[in-house]
A and B are shown apart, each in its own frame.
Chain A
Amino acid sequence: MKSLIKKLVETIGPSGYESQIRAVIREEVEPLVDEVRVDNLGNLIARKGGKLPGEVRGQPGVKIMLAAHIDEIGLIASHIDDFGFVRFVPIGGVRPHTCPGGRVRFLNGVEGVIGIERFSIALRSESNNSVPSFEQMYIDVGVSSRKDCSLHVGDMAVFERPFLDMGKRLVSKAMDDRIGTAVLIETLRQFEEQSISSPHQLYFVFSVQEEVGLRGAMTAAFGVDPDLGLAVDVTACGDTPRGGKMEVGLGRGPAIKVRDEGMLADPRLVDWMVETARRARVPYQMEILIGGTTDARSIQLTRAGVPAGCLSIPCRYIHSPSEMVDFGDVQNAVKLLVELLSNPIKFLTCPQS
């Protein structure tokens, strides 16, 4: 699975421009599913199971949408100046203090380093201790004039950092959310290897444009029109020195989301996930996230509403060039997901009185 993760995190895919990473995922997924399509926004939608939800052991199945987003945060060139320096604006939640000194790679292959104005605006600003703004930064692509610069306004870039395997811990600039896509792909592999047949009609959605406002999941969910939605995404941790107060930490299992800034998970889904984890003896932790949200919010609010939740992979240093996850958490997430999807879901198939 680690080689899959490495391949996924090292493929480029800023929001809105996901064709390269989509091609990589498609190649992995296509042999494992019954149908693959790409929608108008670029979401890769893979169906596993018949055209209608099936039946196993006399229990009817439902239509489930799983979503992991394939886009990553990045930068767009906004101006090339007379001396060939490239001004930029962020795509998604890039944090300015992680930028200076960083390296970036544009979709057309051009590489550059992020520099910061030192002697002009930065020194004139009110406080020299303040975090620099994007307006004070530029990308140096190693040329001296505009005409030598092979970039244009509108060219997209992502941060450039190799995958780091620390054994138990894995580090990359795009764990958010390539690790979620890895979990979905590995789940499909497990279904294949163990010849598990799910009673459900499963839609594995590799969604686009999550980082700019959960946009891909919105149109994908409208198209799939599921009975239940589950996002697989990263969540923050509270287990670092003087870190934010948060229960979630690395190595204690995948996290079952109760709420975040944009969604209250359906309590029936939370119970279903907790009970399944207990039964299967998969370690888990409960997640209450203060800031941020996931594709589950978009799914939940689609059409007439969809019961939705999120299985989270704990991750340190989210939206920095070095996002860290625990490999054990990743493996346990796969284990839990396989368990969740291979059995009937009572609260949906036996309506409440």
Chain B
Amino acid sequence: MKIETIANMSKNRIPSIGNAQIRLLESLCNASAVSGEEEKVRSIVLEQIRPLVDEIKVDALGNVLAKRFGQEKKRLRVMVTAHMDEVGMMIVADDEEGLFRFETVGGLEVSQLVGKAVWVGKNRVPGVIGAKPIHLVEQDELSQLIKLEALRIDVGPENGKKVKVGDRATFATPFIRLGPSLRAKALDDRVGVATLIELIRQPQPHLDLLAAFTVQEEVGLRGARVAAYTLDPDLAFVIDCTPARDLPDWESGGYHVEKEEIENTQYNTRLGAGPAIYIADHATLSDPRLIRHLVETAEALKIPYQIRQPGGGGTDAGAIHRQRVGVPTVSISVPGRYLHTTASIIRLEDWKNTLALIHAALSLLSPRLLRTER
């Protein structure tokens, strides 16, 4: 069958994103699940997918591993992952009177923490990372970097009794829809989690869908490593959220330089340009066969897509592709601005297209794809 024919067939079945999906993403984003303590997100995931899958378990590290089997004879075993954890903070010392020292968990820049409202612990005790008011700041302090040791989380003396050393904290940013966009904390990678849940809802008779909702991605791809060992798939797709820095090149001179020098050459991805397909990051060189499959699928179905700029960063693919005898792997991300800060922004359209592309790519998967050597 020609790819166009199949494309037309599967176009009718492309899952959509409506209010129900947005509400699910809202509850996922608002839940606190800093690396190592993913319970709140995990329970939402379990509740959503339990009725849909044939097998389900939570492994020793806390990954949710779920299988939905196809019915056809020769089936590819396809792992699809999204990570449940988010970057955040951990309480490390009690300074009394509701003041707590903390460390960062995962990639967070200290200068972005100052003055932010936070939720501490699974039950979201409200607090703030205190900042010195401008009235009291000395002139020479303004040019100095603020050190983490100088910061405290303040929850007040009364609530201080509900907080203990070891509790995690995250930004207190409620999910909100802004016209074509969604703003929330932890869109990296709750948008992936929500996408994977939708994919599980769609039957794929020609393959076994091995879904992994992973833990501890933000601290070094740890959950995915053991998940891939257990699932031992034929190939893998990783759904994540990657930074978009598609803004004017303010940092290297702004409007004082010539126009041709302003061209932003390091944007990573662009908002609104569709799902971002990975070719290379620090952890993975994506399997070229899977890159080609995604690109051909997107072209055939006229789904917008972009190639993420090769460079740094890493996804769960970094751990999966080198597991056992190797797993052909590729990552696809929803582009998001201001990731790993208080509030990130994605476009609804990019999310829809990401779901559409991965769903179509799965529908069109054939064992032939892996018969040619990488």
The interface of chain A, by Cβ under 8 A from chain B, is 15-17, 19, 22, 38-43, 76-79, 81-83, 87, 89, 91, 120-121, 124, 135, 152-154, 209, 212, 215-216, 218-219, 222-223
Contact = CB atoms under 8 A, between A and B. Distances in A.
B174 interface: no
26 contacts: A16-B288, A17-B288, A39-B326, A40-B325, A40-B328, A40-B374, A41-B321, A41-B326, A41-B374, A76-B279, A76-B280, A76-B310, A79-B265, A79-B266, A89-B280, A89-B311, A120-B261, A124-B253, A135-B265, A135-B266, A153-B307, A154-B279, A154-B280, A209-B285, A212-B285, A219-B325
Contacts of A43: 326
B141 interface: no
B325 A82 contact: no
B327 A40 contact: yes
B324 interface: yes
Given A16-B285, A212-B285, A222 B265 contact: no
Interface in B322-374: 322-328, 370, 373-374
B252 interface: yes
B257 A79 contact: no
B263 A81 contact: yes
A42 B326 CA distance: 9
A38 B373 contact: yes
B307 A152 contact: yes
A19 B327 CA distance: 17
A22 B252 CA distance: 43
B47 interface: no
A87 B328 CA distance: 28
Contact of B310 (A17, A89, A135): A89
B233 to A, nearest CB: 10
A40 B260 CA distance: 44
Nearest to B267: A79
A8 B285 CA distance: 23
Given A78-B309, A78-B311, A87 B280 contact: no
Contacts of B257: 120
Interface string B262-294: 010110000000000001100001001001000
B121 to A, nearest CB: 37
B210 to A, nearest CB: 16
Nearest to B324: A222
A209 B329 CA distance: 14
Given A87-B265, A154-B310, 13 more contacts: A16-B285, A77-B310, A87-B266, A89-B309, A135-B265, A135-B266, A153-B279, A153-B310, A215-B322, A219-B323, A219-B324, A222-B324, A223-B326
Nearest to B370: A40
B374 A81 contact: no
Nearest to A77: B310
A74 B202 CA distance: 41
A158 B307 CA distance: 21
B325 A79 contact: no
Contacts of B323: 219
Nearest to A71: B285
Given A135-B266, A209-B285, A79 B309 contact: yes
B221 to A, nearest CB: 13
A39 B280 contact: no
A179 B104 CA distance: 46
A79 B269 CA distance: 11
A81 B266 CA distance: 11
A219 B285 contact: no
Nearest to A224: B325
A39 B266 CA distance: 34
Across chains A and B, which 6 residue pairs bring their CB atoms closest together, nearest first? A16-B285, A219-B326, A40-B326, A154-B279, A41-B326, A42-B374
A22 B310 CA distance: 24
A174 to B, nearest CB: 18
Nearest to A212: B285
Contacts of A77: 310
Contacts of B325: 39-40, 219, 222-223
B258 to A, nearest CB: 8
A19 B292 CA distance: 15
A19 B325 CA distance: 18
Contacts of B253: 124
A16 B266 contact: no
Q: Which of A41, A82, A219, A222 has the most CB of B within 10 A?
A: A41
A91 B280 contact: yes
A83 B309 contact: no
A120 B261 CA distance: 8
B252 A121 contact: yes
A82 B257 CA distance: 16
Q: Which of B265, B327, B370 has the most CB of A within 10 A?
A: B265
A38 B288 CA distance: 15
Contacts of A135: 265-266
